[in-house]
Chain A
Amino acid sequence: MKSISKILAILSLPLLLSACGGGGGGGSGGAASYTVTACSDTGTSFQTDEYNTIGSNSGQTSNQLSLVCASSAYARGATGDGIKIAVVDTGGPWDASGSLSNNEFNSTASDIVKPSNSDYVNSDSVPNDDNGHGSGVGCLIRCDKGDGDMHGIAYNSIVSWYKIFNASGVIASDSNVASALNAADSNDIINNSWGSNSDCTSISTCTSVVGANTYAAMKTATDTNGKILVWAAGNSGGAHPYAEAKSVLYDTALQGLSVAVVAINATNADGSGAKDGKIWSSSNRCGDAAAYCIAAPGADITFVGNENGQTFYVGSGTSYAAPLVSGGLALIKQEFSSLTNTQVVTRLLTTALDTGEYSQTAIYGHGLMNLNAATAAVADLRLLGGGTLLDDPNASYYDLANNTFSSSAAFSNALSSALAGHTMEIYDSFDGANFKTNVSSFFTSGSYTSQNTIENHMARLQPKTMEKVKTKNLYGNFTVETDGNYIESSMFQSAGDFLALGFNQSTNSFENAVDPLSGFFNDSNFGNNYLVNPYFHAGSGQDYFMSFNSNSSFGIDTFTNANGNDLGLAFNLNPLSSTSGDTKNAGDLQIVLGTNYEQNKFLNSSSTGAFATGDMSNTNFTGVKYKKNLGDDFTFVGSGFAGYTYIDKASNSYIDKSTPLLTSTFTLGLAKANFIKKDQRIGFFINQPQRVEDGSLNLRVPTSSDSDRTVTYSNLNVDLEPDARQINFDIIFQKTVTETSNLSANLTHVQNGDHSNSSKNQNFISLFYKKTF
């Protein structure tokens, strides 16, 4: 955790204050707390010979990039791609005719720019470098990657050169330098590896030293155009940066967008320097400008030398630290498109390594540039709650951990397929920096087949150990099942069966009528609850049922659970009943019409935060259940359900809209008692677990954001119909061996598990024997 003093230093930047002021809404607010990741250079696949400047032409080692952990940023995709950097210097890698003269810049010539009229020394459009300094500075930013030699820190950036020095190092006039800076404003970042050999102590003295026109151009760049100025601090070993870099201390128009850079020694270089990572002896220190100052490698640095050929040099100067910082800023700016330039600078300074040696603010300012931390989350990540403006005071945010969607297996396969490969944005609560994450990372897929475990099969076959207590009185029957000290289920049936109350026990008349077969039909954990209404999502452990039965032909079921998340109502018509004398041979038939309301879920798919659904998702369903005894030993059962689910939209939810979801489930079964021998039973069943037959939902997720802090959402239409249909084939055998021993066996074949055609078929054979002594 950073020091309080540093936090205050950061917050003292007026522009930052205005930028962070709207952090708000339901989120955790602005930059009150943050953690800086260590400078770990972890992008090993990017740590090539070129990265270490060990090229066939460079021929020497320098760890200028690893010292600032650039490979970690590369591994996150931050290479400066598309970010425009101006090098205001002695010119760039062209000869006087305008031909590119240095092979280190020719792999993507369109990113090597010589703007019109950019030679402010010779007043022409070819900023050819007849000194070498500007080419070297530009190389540190953007020397090509992939040609076997060294590469620059922001090797995919776009670099333009503006020539203000001649071959002898004589600078153009004050007005021409100002013109060059004004022209460079077409870029995002302006690198200035030059300066006056003089200090200043106020706006007026700074203006005098820098030059009135140049000073005005500096203010135009920052205050008017919002561009970032990077300045070399100077090479006299002084206590403070030179005038151009130090002006930021006095002038609010420069603050937040002007950075001073001091140089440290590389620690693994072929040069003759100290190799200790400490301040280069000739570098000016951050001094009074510490709040706007950062350190970067600048001594014993490798870079391309002159305009002719690919000669590489080792050299020193704050000139070489500055372009590393300019490139670092480009990496941050590319990685986080949502940040303003002021926030890019703040992130650079905030994430600097400021422990140990680099904790000396008078020398190193904020510390050593740390691109690992600069491209990582600084504070908690969060999701924007539906708004489009990151700084809107009314914007709501969700903490990252509070956004989940646990999908039903009825459509989880389709959902997973649809979300694969799609990303969305989440935001750093520190500054709103945008991070990409997979949309699927918030979703948990329900699964029928994952319940196909040995344990569940055994539990299915194992005779119930619960103790059942039945009492009967004038008012009706009361049944309680206990397991140890716990009531597993209970049911009260009034005299005449008019009222039934159930706890963890369905009160549906048909389901209870087949209770003797429950060992076959109703006691499964893996998606084939054969005759149970699939739209009453029981299983919470505290389910409450209540039924009213007017007579044997009509009844009403209600369902809810302890959390009140579900409220179901079903009308049951029983046109056929085996207890009715005139239809005795027709079997038992129940037709169900009902509706179910789910709070913050649908089809038992619960969700929270940015993926929440509303309080009143509704499913209207119908079903048919049928049972018929065929002779004395055979029993046929069948059921089928279908429903339409209407998803209730929650405010600010990324689930934007949906079509009704049509779902189905069915079961066919045949059981035989006295199979071969008395006290042996066998059952055959075919079952399709609940499946979405039609329907879709539209996710509207944030996918991009701009430096104006505006978020753009994209639609992600998800067809929820899975690509296959799961069918369970089940054979169950039960045998009562003795009064105290039972034998059970089960063979299950699952086809297209979880409604996916990519699932392998599953086969289970279970055998269970139990003897009670």
Chain B
Amino acid sequence: MLNKFVIISSLFLFSCSSYLIQAEEIIPEELYCGNTSGQFLKSDKNYITADSKNFKDKLAKIDSNFINKGYNLIVISGLKPTGGFSLKLKNINKKKDILHINFIDIKPADNSKVTMATTYPYCVLRIENLEKFKISIK
């Protein structure tokens, strides 16, 4: 009888613990994805946050109208040989103090017609309280 109690209690506690660390999905307040031919998005990191010193400059180079839209994150896919590549936001999960931001790299279909310039697919996002989190992008 005692053993049964211990097992049931353990299962209960475990289920409570599991419930406490489950990720919360975040919906960005603003999101825009595109690609650019400029090398200005060449970066060792795959994202740039608003507290970076050249964030505004890069945002303006993407589109000068973006400056006043409160974007606070630029996500970069890396150099692609042609146009036709893009990023698509899969989801954003908040786990403790980490935002897990997941993107899908979309390639042009085989034999598809594309512009013949190198591009940097990107997404710009506005996420509430972004500065309070660590960022992990996949």
Which chain B residues border A320 with CB–CB below 8 Å?
A: 117
* B16-24, B70-78, B105-113: which lies at the interface: B105-113
* A195-203, A346-354, A496-504, A618-626: which lies at the interface: A195-203
Which chain B residues border A317 with CB–CB below 8 Å?
A: 37, 81-82, 115-118
Min Cβ gap A246→B in Å is: 14
Which chain B residues border A90 with CB–CB below 8 Å?
A: 83, 115
Min Cβ gap A232→B in Å is: 4
User: Is B91 an interface residue when CB atoms closer than 8 A count as contact?
Assistant: no
Interface string of B88-121 (1 = CB under 8 A from A): 0000000000000000000010111111111100
The answer to whether B64 and A318 have CB atoms under 8 Å apart is no
The answer to whether B86 and A194 have CB atoms under 8 Å apart is no
Which chain B residues border A235 with CB–CB below 8 Å?
A: 81-82, 116-118
| A-B pairs with beta carbons under 8 Å apart, 8 shown | A133-B117, A168-B34, A194-B116, A197-B82, A197-B108, A272-B39, A282-B118, A313-B36
Apart from A165-B83, A197-B114, list 13 A-B contacts with CB within 8 A: A131-B35, A167-B34, A169-B83, A194-B83, A209-B111, A282-B81, A305-B37, A305-B38, A305-B61, A306-B64, A311-B64, A313-B61, A315-B118
B side interface size, CB within 8 A: 31
Which B residues contact A (CB, under 8 angstroms)? 34-40, 42, 60-65, 81-86, 108, 110-119
In order of increasing CB-CB distance, the 7 nearest A-B pairs are A313-B38, A317-B117, A169-B83, A319-B117, A232-B116, A319-B116, A315-B37
- For the complex, what is the distance from the CA of A249 to the CA of B71, rounded to whole Å? 49
> Known: A305-B61, A313-B38. Contact between A89 and B111, CB under 8 A?
no
Which chain A residues border B85 with CB–CB below 8 Å?
A: 169
Min Cβ gap A706→B in Å is: 34
Query: Which B residue's beta carbon lies closest to that of A210?
Result: B113
Which chain B residues border A272 with CB–CB below 8 Å?
A: 39, 42
The answer to whether A318 and B34 have CB atoms under 8 Å apart is no
Query: Which B residue's beta carbon lies closest to that of A242?
Result: B116
Of B37, B83, B113, the residue contacting A313 (CB under 8 A) is B37
Which chain A residues border B117 with CB–CB below 8 Å?
A: 133, 136, 193, 235, 315-317, 319-320
- For the complex, what is the distance from the CA of A551 to the CA of B126, rounded to whole Å? 122
Which chain B residues border A195 with CB–CB below 8 Å?
A: 113-114, 116
Min Cβ gap B77→A in Å is: 13
Categorize the interface residue count of chain A: 35 or more
Interface string of A272-311 (1 = CB under 8 A from B): 1000000000100000000000000000100001101101
Query: Which B residue's beta carbon lies closest to that of A194?
Result: B115
> Known: A169-B115, A170-B84, A317-B118. Contact between A305 and B36, CB under 8 A?
yes
- For the complex, what is the distance from the CA of A196 to the CA of B112, rounded to whole Å? 5
Of B34, B39, B110, B111, the residue contacting A315 (CB under 8 A) is B39
- For the complex, what is the distance from the CA of A132 to the CA of B114, rounded to whole Å? 14
- For the complex, what is the distance from the CA of A171 to the CA of B114, rounded to whole Å? 7
Which chain B residues border A311 with CB–CB below 8 Å?
A: 38, 60-61, 64
Which chain B residues border A136 with CB–CB below 8 Å?
A: 37, 117
Which chain A residues border B38 with CB–CB below 8 Å?
A: 305, 311, 313-315
The answer to whether A194 and B113 have CB atoms under 8 Å apart is yes
Query: Which B residue's beta carbon lies closest to that of A283?
Result: B116
> Known: A168-B34, A169-B114, A194-B114. Contact between A309 and B39, CB under 8 A?
no
The answer to whether B37 and A133 have CB atoms under 8 Å apart is yes
- For the complex, what is the distance from the CA of A89 to the CA of B83, rounded to whole Å? 11
Which chain B residues border A305 with CB–CB below 8 Å?
A: 36-38, 61
The answer to whether A132 and B108 have CB atoms under 8 Å apart is no
The answer to whether B81 and A236 have CB atoms under 8 Å apart is yes
- For the complex, what is the distance from the CA of A235 to the CA of B65, rounded to whole Å? 31
Min Cβ gap A141→B in Å is: 15
- For the complex, what is the distance from the CA of A272 to the CA of B114, rounded to whole Å? 24
Query: Which B residue's beta carbon lies closest to that of A168?
Result: B86
The answer to whether A165 and B115 have CB atoms under 8 Å apart is yes
> Known: A196-B111, A315-B39, A316-B117. Contact between A131 and B83, CB under 8 A?
yes
Give chain A interface residues in 106-135, CB to chain B under 8 Å. Answer: 131-133
Interface string of A328-372 (1 = CB under 8 A from B): 000000000000000000000000000000000000000000000
Which chain A residues border B119 with CB–CB below 8 Å?
A: 169
User: Is A152 an interface residue when CB atoms closer than 8 A count as contact?
Assistant: no
The answer to whether A306 and B62 have CB atoms under 8 Å apart is yes
User: Is A68 an interface residue when CB atoms closer than 8 A count as contact?
Assistant: no
The answer to whether B110 and A198 have CB atoms under 8 Å apart is yes
The answer to whether B111 and A313 have CB atoms under 8 Å apart is no
The answer to whether B36 and A169 have CB atoms under 8 Å apart is no
The answer to whether A169 and B86 have CB atoms under 8 Å apart is yes
- For the complex, what is the distance from the CA of A209 to the CA of B84, rounded to whole Å? 17
The answer to whether B81 and A133 have CB atoms under 8 Å apart is no
User: Is A178 an interface residue when CB atoms closer than 8 A count as contact?
Assistant: no
- Of the listed residues B37, B38, B60, the one surrounded by the most CB atoms of chain A closer than 10 A to its CB is B37
Min Cβ gap B119→A in Å is: 8
Query: Which B residue's beta carbon lies closest to that of A174?
Result: B113
The answer to whether B37 and A197 have CB atoms under 8 Å apart is no
Which chain A residues border B60 with CB–CB below 8 Å?
A: 309, 311
The answer to whether A271 and B37 have CB atoms under 8 Å apart is no
Min Cβ gap B105→A in Å is: 14
Which chain B residues border A171 with CB–CB below 8 Å?
A: 112-114
- For the complex, what is the distance from the CA of A772 to the CA of B35, rounded to whole Å? 100
- For the complex, what is the distance from the CA of A558 to the CA of B65, rounded to whole Å? 95
Which chain A residues border B61 with CB–CB below 8 Å?
A: 305-306, 311, 313
- For the complex, what is the distance from the CA of A555 to the CA of B32, rounded to whole Å? 108
Which chain A residues border B63 with CB–CB below 8 Å?
A: 306, 308
- For the complex, what is the distance from the CA of A223 to the CA of B60, rounded to whole Å? 45
User: Is A85 an interface residue when CB atoms closer than 8 A count as contact?
Assistant: no
- For the complex, what is the distance from the CA of A159 to the CA of B122, rounded to whole Å? 30
- For the complex, what is the distance from the CA of A288 to the CA of B5, rounded to whole Å? 80
Min Cβ gap A214→B in Å is: 8
- For the complex, what is the distance from the CA of A211 to the CA of B112, rounded to whole Å? 10
Give chain A interface residues in 53-86, CB to chain B under 8 Å. Answer: none
- For the complex, what is the distance from the CA of A89 to the CA of B37, rounded to whole Å? 14
Which chain B residues border A169 with CB–CB below 8 Å?
A: 35, 83-86, 108, 114-115, 119
Query: Which B residue's beta carbon lies closest to that of A135?
Result: B37
User: Is A414 an interface residue when CB atoms closer than 8 A count as contact?
Assistant: no
- For the complex, what is the distance from the CA of A236 to the CA of B107, rounded to whole Å? 14
Give chain A interface residues in 156-199, CB to chain B under 8 Å. Answer: 165, 167-171, 177, 193-198
Min Cβ gap B108→A in Å is: 7
- For the complex, what is the distance from the CA of A470 to the CA of B118, rounded to whole Å? 98
The answer to whether A193 and B116 have CB atoms under 8 Å apart is yes
> Known: A167-B34, A308-B64, A317-B37. Contact between A133 and B111, CB under 8 A?
no
Which chain B residues border A89 with CB–CB below 8 Å?
A: 115
- For the complex, what is the distance from the CA of A613 to the CA of B51, rounded to whole Å? 85
User: Is A150 an interface residue when CB atoms closer than 8 A count as contact?
Assistant: no
Which chain A residues border B81 with CB–CB below 8 Å?
A: 235-236, 282, 317
User: Is A322 an interface residue when CB atoms closer than 8 A count as contact?
Assistant: yes
- Of the listed residues B110, B114, B115, B116, the one surrounded by the most CB atoms of chain A closer than 10 A to its CB is B116
Min Cβ gap B136→A in Å is: 26
Min Cβ gap B135→A in Å is: 25
User: Is A614 an interface residue when CB atoms closer than 8 A count as contact?
Assistant: no
Min Cβ gap B117→A in Å is: 3
